[in-house]
Structure 1
Amino acid sequence: MYGSPALPPDFVSLPYANPDAPTGGRVVFGNTGGFDSLNPFVQKGTTPWQMRFWSYESLMGRSWDEPFTLYGLLAESVRTAPDRSWVEFTLRDGARFSDGSEVTVEDVIWSYETLGTEGHLRYRGLWPKIAAIEPTGPRSLRISFNTPDRELALIAGMRPILKKKQWEGRRFSASGLDDIPIGSGPYVVEDFEAGRHVTFRRNPNYWGRDLPFRRGTNNLDEMRIEFYGDATVLFEAFKAGELTAIREFNAERWARQYDFPAVQRGDVVKTEIPHGRPSGMTGFVMNTRRAPFGDWRVREALLLAFNFEFINDTMTGGAQPRIASYFSNSELGMRPGPAEGRVRDLLAPFADTLPPGALAGYALPRGDGTARNRVNLRRAAALLDEAGWRVTDGIRRNEHGTPLTFTVLLRQGESDYQTVIELFARALERLGIEVTTEKVDNAQYAGRVAAHDFDVTGFRRDLSLSPGNEQRLYWGAEGATQPGSRNLMGMVSPAADAMIDTMLRTDDPETFRAAVRALDRVLMAGRYVIPIWQYDVGRIAHVRQLHHPDRLPIYGDRTDYMPDVWWWSED
């Protein structure tokens, strides 16, 4: 996006991969919930989330040690106009799908159009911005854009490529368990039982095994995913030796519950992977499409009532710091205090539409560390009174007598979230607010969230050092009314849309950074999410036979870092 790639043209492998890693081994991972589809590219159904990382490839691939940089994968070369108005790719001679057939220009063009019109919403944002896509040679094609957006050339290199002939005479968007898309990735589905397990086998004829980009990756022969009803059962399965590795997101559990006999014997190893990426946002999102969450005062009152310091001490022993903003822990995060310099200049035209604190400065409320949290509760009560929600007979009601109640929608197995809400509910009860929780299975949860059918629900946005078009999916005004959009809070902010536009159009790194910091301010001052603790380090418990390189990427433990560059060795 800016400057030159860090790796030279003759690089041997990605810097965080071991080019001499041995191959072999069988591993078993665990997921909670289930699955009813094996097509991860359509809106219909729930798939194992790992599938699109293990079995499919794009024209270019990402290095997790560099933001905004891609390297050739299915494409051997890439050219783009100085203004990024078009990009041209040349396919590698020898690129093959898992069935041995050649990856062609026709497959690429079909994949872009099909995913852009029938695919999952995450893939549809690019297609309307393509003015033309056409072959320029036997193995090359050009994509021209109709929108001034410097990131489009990179996004165009990251769409999964599927086999066109597989879908002739068939409807792609209606596929499910019986229609596994053919990809070019290193792993193929060998066996599955709906909702119970799925096994991936490394393709011995994988076309790209000798590419420098692939050297030292995809080292495991077999990867199986077992599905469990909740995280507690999954953890017990790991302790019993039924699983090979598990990620732990709670520092308190990591310190206290990972001392079982296999750990004491050294058969299970506790590995911590630090990272330098933004914190992202984890917590509880409020649906502003529904009353009373459309009023920022109510949202601020709930933030005040959420006694983070006490809850964090109870849940993690106070070991995990709170998320301070969407891009905190990085140079892209908003700075404390009033907006200054370029950030202020970018936001100033929208001063009349900005939420309170966006320009003057906003910080999350801090409790006093006690269970009662009296000062913040008094402030919350005053805001609720001001918003028209007053206490009558111990119940907070509006002018029509309607009580202030809401439901938190949770996915089955989210035991941590359930405990947090129970602690939160005690504080809200003292304000005259009743909170209930509703637990549903994976399929119901996906459908409810896609329809924006919730009051409050758990929320996670894993943000990167290279934010771009995905920000429009997360926060753009169009998604506020679009079913299936990832704008769960339903925010409509001209300032946020303008900051995203600036991020995508500028060729100046300083302006880009200022636009992200300004967006961060708009999101935080909007008070859409009640943040909880951040995942400042990756924690993986695994059998001693699993190993990873000493050199760690700047992004740390991303979703495909383990197992991508790990290997199995008895020695």
Structure 2
Amino acid sequence: MMRRVGLGVGLSAGVMLAAPMAGAQEAAAADPEKIIKTHGYSFFGNLSYPEDYPHFDYVNPDAPKGGEISIAISGSFDSMNPYARLGRAGALSTVMYESLLGQVLAGSGTLPADHDDEMYGLLAESLEYPETKDWVIFHMRPEARFSDGTPLTAHDVAFSHNLLLDQGLKSYADAVRKRIPKVEVLDDHTIKFYFAEGISRRNLIDQVGAVPVWSKAWYEETGARLDEARMNVSPGSGPYIIEEVDPPRKISFKRNPDYWGWDLPINKGRHNFDRIRLTYFASSEGAFGAFRAGEVTFRTESDAKQWASFYDFPAIQKGWVKREELPNGQPPAMTGIVFNLGSDVLKDRRVREAVALGFNFEWTNKSLNFGLYEQQRSFSTGTNLEAKGVPTGEERAFFEGLSSDVPETVLDAEPWVPHVSDPDRLVTRKTLRRSMKLLDEAGWPVGEDGTRRNEAGEVLRLDFLASSNADASDRALAENYISNLKKMGIDARLEIVDTAQYTKRERDRDYDLVFDGYPALTGTGTGLLQRLGSEAAEFSLFNPAGLANPLVDEIIEASLLTQSQEEEDMMVRALDRVLRHEFFVLPTGYAPDYWVAYWDMYGHPETQPPYALGALDFWWYDEEKAAALKAAGALR
């Protein structure tokens, strides 16, 4: 999720109704009679690829088709429907479906992967809308087909849109109904969406253009529901179809030779593997062992210790397995230890700050992560959207014009940054003294038994929830962190549960602390209200802290009404500043590059595009290299 933080169906579906006067002011500058006709969409109208583009610049248009890519996954699955609240959906279970505007395969990064605020027609060959963006009409490709050979029409698009409203996530359905009151099928291949008056036009066209399209006929014939966990799924129109599902162990997808869209410019050089095979393992150790043995052939590494120490096995030494660090142009997600703001103990910011001081990034990075991680400073680390210094000029004037209370520390102090600790000691005494003082001030003094209690005699207890299939480094980090919290007099406990229980408890927010996070803040969008807004905070699956703050809401709503990139960027910096002040994520560090290892039978573009790794999207199978590995006895 880069600058285009739209509604999205799975990730960022939350929206709010903007103030009527603000929406009217936004529309006043635009001409409702001026109709824009285009082959793609960008909110500010800046498309990098012309209508007659042959393919995206970063792909290999002559990439060979064939072969298999095999990936190991830790955990299990019991459903192939990712839109149900219950059940654990299999990985890539949305890969069969397409939308009016194209999206990257497997949902990681943006499409195109070299530009972060643009979308191009896929099921739609063109679209038109007034300058005011009061509505949008999509002109669909009549050749589009589902994998069962039946035509994909505007009726299927309207059905899919309405199905999400009737049976999708509540946060999504409630918000979309407010913003998109009507959809009209004009003919079999033309569909029109109407947008509500008096609201921001930000992300509305993106939203309807990104809805996955399912077969209306299949749902009507089977009686299946979108909100139920199940293995049978609607046929999709995409380049891959399900080949085999064997829960909880295996899933494979095969390239559809009859896919209707092979010759489209948006698909040139993409979707190159004949088969994508996923194998599930009970632990991360089992998954890595399968890669070493050649049972699986591609791996993205997330464990720094493993990357530094365990990639010296015979296949590496013989040159059979290739190990690469590829540049990642995306700012890091704000990931780490999330505080549940619904926990009574953690509602006091002083307690959160004290608890955060128990984490020693420098020691953890040196001792557990071999110095390979870097620290997140903000929700926009390393970009021009990162708040720095004391707010001045337009940003200060913006804060002073808001109706919500702005804390003095936001206006008159530099934004929060992570504390610095001693890399050679797990416990830094200076930091420990500071945390103890904060806890005392918050009403949690230490008793004679070394345990902190409040006036009511309640023990300061924190439960840290973790999954049994977590990386070994994550578990070691959590254990050392818990050790430091106990030194503060906190009754801290690490609860390691199986994946099914972990999924349920995380959805129910049954924890005080949990490994999770938020996407990088790279621009505005209505999806920010799903992640960070008050209206959906109580039940949103995408706001693990349960953040609900009127100031955050007001900044997001104001940012949706900006009329220039410069104004938007200023407001996003203000948002970053406030989010850091609220302090609901303790960042634990990130890998600055993609760490990938693979059996040397794959190719990828010489220049990596900045916004997606794209292994399943635009990499390809090298038959000669694969034959050499087999001849050497490396692979069967």
Common topology (TM > 0.5)? yes
What is the TM-score when the length of structure 2 is the normalising length?
Answer: 0.86
Query: For residue 65 of structure 1, what is the amino acid of its counterpart?
Result: D
Are 1:391 and 2:446 counterparts? yes
Identity of aligned residues (%): 34
Are residues 248 and 42 of structure 1, via their aligned partners in 2, closer, same or farther at CA, if it must alter by over 3 Å? same
Q: Which residue of 2 aligns with 1:194?
A: 247
CA contact (8 A) 1:546 1:567 kept: yes
Superposed counterparts of 1:226-375, under 5 Å: 226-335=279-388, 337-349=389-401, 353-354=405-406, 357-359=409-411, 360-361=413-414, 362-369=416-423, 370-375=425-430
Distance in 2, matches of 1:47 and 1:241, equals 26
Q: Secondary structure at the match of 2:495?
A: strand
Are 1:78 and 2:127 counterparts? yes
Report how far residue 178 of structure 1 moved. Answer: 3.5
CA contact (8 A) 2:331 2:383 kept: yes
Superposed counterparts of 1:475-514, under 5 Å: 475-482=532-539, 484-514=540-570
Are 1:63 and 2:92 counterparts? no
Are 1:142 and 2:184 counterparts? no
Are residues 285 and 76 of structure 1, via their aligned partners in 2, closer, same or farther at CA, if it must alter by over 3 Å? same
Q: Secondary structure at the match of 1:28?
A: strand
Report how far residue 122 of structure 1 moved. Answer: 7.5
CA contact (8 A) 1:58 1:73 kept: yes
Q: Which residue of 1 aligns with 2:5?
A: none
Are residues 392 and 350 of structure 1, via their aligned partners in 2, closer, same or farther at CA, if it must alter by over 3 Å? farther
Report how far residue 464 of structure 1 moved. Answer: 6.2
Q: Which residue of 2 aligns with 1:439?
A: 496
CA contact (8 A) 1:328 1:334 kept: no
- Which stretch of the first structure deviates more once superposed, 183-192 or 341-350? 341-350
Query: For residue 195 of structure 2, what is the amino acid of its counterpart?
Result: F
CA contact (8 A) 1:186 1:202 kept: yes
Deviations 1:75-134 (A, max 9, x none): 000112212221110111201111111111110001011112312468534343102110
Report how far residue 352 of structure 1 moved. Answer: 6.7
Deviations 1:296-324 (A, max 9, x none): 00001011121111111122112211111
Are residues 345 and 232 of structure 1, via their aligned partners in 2, closer, same or farther at CA, if it must alter by over 3 Å? farther
Q: Secondary structure at the match of 1:126?
A: helix
What is the TM-score when the length of structure 1 is the normalising length?
Answer: 0.95
- Please, which runs of 5 or more residues in structure 1 have no aligned partner? none
Are 1:116 and 2:165 counterparts? yes
Are 1:550 and 2:606 counterparts? yes
Distance in 2, matches of 1:130 and 1:142, equals 11
Distance in 2, matches of 1:514 and 1:315, equals 37
Q: Which residue of 1 aligns with 2:25?
A: none
Q: Which residue of 1 aligns with 2:597?
A: 541
CA contact (8 A) 1:350 1:494 kept: no
Distance in 1, matches of 2:181 and 2:149, equals 32
CA contact (8 A) 2:534 2:547 kept: yes
Are 1:525 and 2:577 counterparts? no
Are residues 163 and 123 of structure 1, via their aligned partners in 2, closer, same or farther at CA, if it must alter by over 3 Å? farther
Q: Which residue of 2 aligns with 1:44?
A: 86
Q: Which residue of 2 aligns with 1:104?
A: 153
Report how far residue 456 of structure 1 moved. Answer: 0.8
Deviations 1:28-52 (A, max 9, x none): 1111111111112232321123221
Cα RMSD (Å):
1.8
Are residues 463 and 116 of structure 1, via their aligned partners in 2, closer, same or farther at CA, if it must alter by over 3 Å? farther
CA contact (8 A) 1:285 1:529 kept: yes
Report how far residue 501 of structure 1 moved. Answer: 1.1
Q: Secondary structure at the match of 1:201?
A: strand
Q: Secondary structure at the match of 2:323?
A: strand
Q: Secondary structure at the match of 2:462?
A: strand
Q: Secondary structure at the match of 1:533?
A: coil
Q: Secondary structure at the match of 1:58?
A: coil
Distance in 2, matches of 1:293 and 1:58, equals 41
Q: Secondary structure at the match of 2:571?
A: helix
Q: Secondary structure at the match of 1:312?
A: helix
Of 44, 59, 75 in structure 2, the residue corresponding to residue 2 of structure 1 is 44
Report how far residue 375 of structure 1 moved. Answer: 0.6
Q: Which residue of 1 aligns with 2:431?
A: 376
Distance in 1, matches of 2:178 and 2:350, equals 38
Superposed counterparts of 1:85-96, under 5 Å: 85-96=134-145
Of 464, 470, 475 in structure 2, the residue corresponding to residue 418 of structure 1 is 475
Distance in 2, matches of 1:134 and 1:320, equals 50
Deviations 1:478-505 (A, max 9, x none): 22222x4322112221121112112222
Distance in 2, matches of 1:537 and 1:210, equals 33
